[in-house]
Structure 1
Amino acid sequence: MPEPEVVASRYADATPAAAPGPAGRRDLWKAALKWPMYAVAVMPVLLAAGWRWGRGEAVRLDQLLLFLGAAVLLLAWENLANDVFDADTGVDTRGKPHSVVNLTGRRDRVALLANGALALGLLLMALVAWRSTPLVLGLVLGCCGLGYLYQGPPFRLGYRGLGEPLCWLAFGPLATAAGLLALAPPTDAAIPWRSALALGSGPALATTLVLFCSHFHQVEEDAAYGKRSPVVQLGPRTAAALVPWFVASSLALQWAPVLAGVWPLTALLGAVGLAPARALIALLQQHHHAPERIVGSKFLALRFQTFNGLGLALGLALGRWF
C-alpha cells in the first residue's frame, strides 16, 4: 500500500476542475486522517508508563487509558485546526489536496469538529487531573497553548520557523511531566521536571524530526505564501544535512542515562528505530532537490519516532528484571 503522502502527491497540482475520482478521494481521505501520526500523541505517556514500571512503581491503568484517549483527541484538534488556519492563509490551496478543508469544502464544519475534539479532549484530561492532580491539566493546557501559538492567528509562529522548538517543548518536558503525574499516586503533586527532561528530551527530538521532515516536499508552496519553515530558510540541501544530527542527538539523549548507570541496558532497545532513520537520511541526501521523490520522508521520520519510542518504553519497563 503506498504511503498517504505519496498518494496525495499525485494530485498536488490538481485544480478544482480536475478533481480525483472516487478511488482517488478514498486515498486522499486516508492521507487526511493521518492515523499513523497519533503515535506522537501517545508516546509521552507510554514512556512514562514504561519508566514507572521499570522502577517497580505502580502504573494506574485506568489513568493511562484516559490519558491516551485525551491525547488522541487533542492531536485531532491540532491537525484539524491546522487545516482550518492554513486554509485562511491559502498555503494549502494547491499543495495539499488531502486537507480536510479542501476535501469537504466546509471550513466552518471542520472548525466546529476541531473545537469539539478540543473540548472533549480537555474534558477527559480534566477527569485525569481530578483523579491525580490539577497540575496535569495545567501542563496539558500549556501544550495546547503552544499548539495554538504554532498555527493560530495572530501568532502563526510556525510561519516564522519556530514550530520545531514549540513541538519539542510540548511533546517533551510538558507532556512527559503530565504523563508521569497522571500515572502516579495522587499524593505525588510536585512536577517531576528532572525526570520529565531526562525521559522526554530524546523522544521529543524524534517527534520534532517528523515536523521538520514534513516541510521538504512543499518548499515552493510554503515560500510562496510566506511560510518560512526551517527548510525554506535553510534550503533543502542544508536542511537535509541536519537530519543525521536530529537522529544522533535523539539517541544520545536516550543513551546518556544508560552510560551513566541511571537507566538499565535494556533502554538501548530504542535503537530499533535506526533502520527507518538510515533510510530517511539516505533518501534526503539523494533526493532533497526532488519534492516528488521525498513526499514520504515525514513517514520515515514517523517510523523512527514510533519504533524508537516504543523500544525505549519497553526497554525501561524490562529494567526491573535486569
Structure 2
Amino acid sequence: MTTTPTTTQSLPPSKAKLWLAAIKPPMYTVAIIPITVGTAFAFGETGIFDSKIFGTFLTSAILIIAWLNISNDVFDADTGIDKNKAHSIVNLTGDKSLMFWLANLFLCLGILGILLIAWWQKDITVLLIILLCCALGYSYQGPPFRFGYQGLGEFICFFTFGPLAISAVYYSQTQQFSLFSLAPGILIGISTSIILFCSHFHQVEDDLAAGKKSPIVRMGTQLASQVLTVTTVLFFALVVLFSLLHLFSFWTLLVFSSVPIAYQLVTHVNKNHDKPNQVSNCKFIAVRLHFVSGLLLALGLIIPQLS
C-alpha cells in the first residue's frame, strides 16, 4: 500500500490567513514609529512630554494608516492590478463601495483626533501638516494622480512619513518647530520608504501588466537589489553622521543593534530578487528593520534627558 505525501504548500491559504494579510497588522508600525520618534526627539530636546497629545496622535495615525491601506486596495481594484491578489480586502469582501466608505470613515476619525489636538492647543498648525500628509497619501494611488504608478511612491512615502510627520509630532508636543527635527525625519523617511520599495520585488509581472512603473520595474530587480543595499548602508551612515554633528547623542548608536536585521534583508533580496515566491516576504523583514531601528532611535534620543 502506498500513500501520496501531501504538503501544506499545495493547500490554498485559509480565509483567516487571507484576512490577516489583508488587514496588514505589521504595516501599522509605519504609524507607531514616526509618532514615537518625533515625541522622543521633542522630549530629548526640550524635556516636554504630553501623554494626552501622544496617545491622541498615535490613535489618529493608526486610523489614517487604516484609511490608506483600505483605500489603496480600492483604487488598485479600479486598475485591475490586484486581480491576482487573493488577500486584497476588496477581493475578499467583493464590495468595493463598502470598503471605500469604510476607509473614509477611518480617515474622518483620524482627522477628528488631530482636530482635538488643534482645539486643545488653539493652533491649527499640526492639522495643516497632517492634511498635507493625507493629500500626499491620496496622490500615491488615488485618481486622477496615481503617482505610485509613475514610480514616485517612495518619494511621497519619504516626505510624508519622514520630515513632515516628525515635524508635526514635534510641534504637537512643543508648539514650535526645530530645524534639527529634519535629522530623525530623514532617517524615518528612509526606513519607511525601504518598506514600500521592498513590496514591489515580487509583483513585477502584475505591475507591468497594469502599466505601473514602480522603481523595480524601471530599474530591474538586480539593480534594485543593489540600490536597496546602498540605501540601507546610507541609513546607518547617517546615524553616525548625525551623532558626529551632535544632532543626536551617541546613545542613538544603539540603532546599530538592528544591523543583523538589515543584513538579513539585503542578503535575502540580493539572493532572491528575481524569484517572486522567495522574495515576497522581504517587505516584512523591512517592516521589522523599520520598527526595531525606530524604537532604538527613540530610546537613544530620550536617554540623555533621563540621565
TM-score range, shorter chain: over 0.9
**Equivalent of residue 45 in structure 2, options 55, 62, 81:** 55
Which residue is 2:25 aligned to?
Answer: 35
Task: Give yes or no for the alignment of 1:173 onto 2:163.
Answer: yes
Where in structure 2 are the equivalents of 1:27-106 lying within 5 Å?
27-94=17-84, 96-106=85-95
Q: Deviations over 1:49-78 (max 9, x none)?
A: 212232351100000000000000000000
Which residue is 1:258 aligned to?
Answer: 243
What amino acid maps onto 1:318 in structure 2? Answer: I
Which residue is 1:268 aligned to?
Answer: 253
What amino acid maps onto 2:212 in structure 1? Answer: K
2:261 and 2:286 mapped to 1: Cα distance? 7
2:211 and 2:200 mapped to 1: Cα distance? 13
Question: Measured at CA, do residues 10 and 259 of structure 1 come closer, stay the same or move farther in structure 2, by a change above 3 Å?
Answer: farther
Which residue is 2:272 aligned to?
Answer: 287
1:68 and 1:10 mapped to 2: Cα distance? 40
Aligned partners of 1:172 and 1:196 also within 8 Å = no
2:10 and 2:292 mapped to 1: Cα distance? 28
What amino acid maps onto 2:268 in structure 1? Answer: L
Secondary structure of the residue that 1:55 maps to in structure 2? Answer: helix
Gaps of 5+ in 1: 1-8, 12-19
Which residue is 1:125 aligned to?
Answer: 114
What amino acid maps onto 1:119 in structure 2? Answer: C
Deviation, structure 1 residue 131: 1.9
Q: Deviations over 1:252-307 (max 9, x none)?
A: 22222211233211111112221111111111111111100011000011111111
1:131 and 1:48 mapped to 2: Cα distance? 19
**Equivalent of residue 151 in structure 1, options 141, 145, 163:** 141
Which residue is 2:216 aligned to?
Answer: 231
Where in structure 2 are the equivalents of 1:210-225 lying within 5 Å?
210-225=195-210
Q: Deviations over 1:96-152 (max 9, x none)?
A: 110100100000110010000001100111111222321100000010010111110
Deviation, structure 1 residue 321: 4.7
What amino acid maps onto 2:144 in structure 1? Answer: P
Aligned partners of 2:41 and 2:181 also within 8 Å = no
Aligned partners of 2:180 and 2:247 also within 8 Å = no
1:127 and 1:252 mapped to 2: Cα distance? 38
Which residue is 2:6 aligned to?
Answer: none
Which residue is 1:203 aligned to?
Answer: 188
Q: Deviations over 1:7-40 (max 9, x none)?
A: xx989xxxxxxxx5xx611101111111111111
What amino acid maps onto 1:127 in structure 2? Answer: L
1:261 and 1:196 mapped to 2: Cα distance? 13
What amino acid maps onto 2:43 in structure 1? Answer: W
1:10 and 1:40 mapped to 2: Cα distance? 33
Aligned partners of 1:101 and 1:107 also within 8 Å = yes
Moved more, 233-242 or 123-132: 123-132
Computed over aligned residues only, the root mean square deviation of the Cα atoms, in angstroms, reads 1.5
Moved more, 262-271 or 215-224: 262-271
Which residue is 1:306 aligned to?
Answer: 291
What amino acid maps onto 2:273 in structure 1? Answer: H
Moved more, 197-206 or 80-89: 197-206
What amino acid maps onto 1:41 in structure 2? Answer: A
1:27 and 1:102 mapped to 2: Cα distance? 14
Moved more, 228-237 or 48-57: 48-57
**What is the aligned-residue identity percentage?**
40
Normalised to the residue count of structure 2, the TM-score between the two structures is 0.93
Moved more, 68-77 or 270-279: 270-279
2:292 and 2:168 mapped to 1: Cα distance? 22
Deviation, structure 1 residue 191: 3.6
Question: Measured at CA, do residues 256 and 90 of structure 1 come closer, stay the same or move farther in structure 2, by a change above 3 Å?
Answer: same
What amino acid maps onto 1:158 in structure 2? Answer: G
Gaps of 5+ in 2: 1-8
Task: Give yes or no for the alignment of 1:113 onto 2:98.
Answer: no
1:320 and 1:58 mapped to 2: Cα distance? 10
Deviation, structure 1 residue 173: 1.1
